[in-house]
Structure 1
């Protein structure tokens, strides 16, 4: 059974993932603006890509959680998300420039650029919520309550990520620095989850050895 402390950690990780998702989505407008502007159809492209990729992420996360559920596999999702975000900071201008040259209509250019930059990372981030629910649910009769709390915590993280990114981060830091920070946060969270699982696996054997002594 997952301990109370581990439950708190899972909720905290879900909170942080919601924070990062909305932070990256808000930065999408800033990232695309130099090439495609900041009109309503730019935001339409960004929101469409994020909603679509999150929906695929929920499906994949649910499928991923059907076997061998543990914190190590959970942590891998965070590590992959951090790695997938990295190209946004490294190659976004080159990717957008090539799309801008190839496609004259900014509507379709911004849509394609949003797909190229955000589709894969957001799919991976979308996998976190269903896997979190699977880790937390130990009684099917309590699954609805657990899912409600999880999505409440995750949405609070999204709200905080929205307000902090839009009110403060974009005024104080460069966009690439913020993206790299999100990358580092997700990577660190993945390492934390995997480390906890390793400690959990080592603890019983250590206790058994102490008992024999």
Structure 2
């Protein structure tokens, strides 16, 4: 949510901050999250592990970096080549946020898979996970909009998000390496 919120500030110098700009940003985030949920759910069915989970975080952190590194030149190119700010902002949102948000969307279904140990508790586990995820999104939104933007530049905030994702990925991979615990599949079989 923090990156989505900052998306408005990133696009504003080129496309303004009207309702269609926010419509573009929200559409891209919702669309890419939906693809991420599908991909993450499918990926979680094949040998789920903390190492693969950590790799999703690492890949997400890496795909966020182009927002910091190339957003200016990308948006300038789009701005100069697409006259209508509606389609320009939609194209810029796709270019900047589509891939990282797909990867971020993969985290939730993969998390459910790692946390579910039996079919009877799957709904409860998913409910708690989505509660924590939504609460975290709300806190990230309020902290970013009320505090981070007052003290830090947008690129510094996004770079921090990127580094945090990579650190979480490294922690998951390291934890998996040193605590090789088998993952149960929902049929009761155990896999290494």
Distance 1:118 1:69 in 2: 26
Aligned partner of residue 180 in structure 2, secondary structure: helix
Aligned partner of residue 96 in structure 1, secondary structure: helix
Runs (4 or more) in structure 1 with deviation over 2 Å come to none
Match of 2:177 in 1: 198
Aligned partner of residue 87 in structure 1, secondary structure: helix
Distance 2:147 2:20 in 1: 25
Match of 2:146 in 1: 167
Distance 1:87 1:137 in 2: 34
1:183 pairs with 2:127: no
Match of 1:133 in 2: 112
How far did 1:133 drift? 0.1
1:123-145: per-residue Cα shift (whole Å, max 9, x none)?
Answer: 00000000000000011111000
1:60 pairs with 2:39: yes
Mapping 1:29-68, distance limit 5 Å: 29-68=8-47
Distance 2:28 2:129 in 1: 23
How far did 1:171 drift? 1.0
Mapping 1:9-28, distance limit 5 Å: 22-28=1-7
Q: Structure 1 length normalisation: TM-score? A: 0.84
How far did 1:201 drift? 2.7
Distance 1:179 1:90 in 2: 10
Match of 1:11 in 2: none
Unpaired stretches in structure 1, ≥5 consecutive residues: 1-21, 203-213
Unpaired stretches in structure 2, ≥5 consecutive residues: 182-192
Is the helix fraction higher in 1 or 2? 1
1:29-82: per-residue Cα shift (whole Å, max 9, x none)?
Answer: 000000000000000000000000000000000000011111000000000000
- How many residues are treated as equivalent by the alignment? 181
1:147-197: per-residue Cα shift (whole Å, max 9, x none)?
Answer: 000000000110001000110111110000000000000000000000000
Distance 2:150 2:13 in 1: 17
Distance 1:142 1:174 in 2: 43
Q: Structure 2 length normalisation: TM-score? A: 0.93
Aligned partner of residue 189 in structure 1, secondary structure: helix
Distance 2:171 2:127 in 1: 24
Distance 2:54 2:136 in 1: 18
Distance 2:117 2:103 in 1: 24
Distance 2:140 2:159 in 1: 15
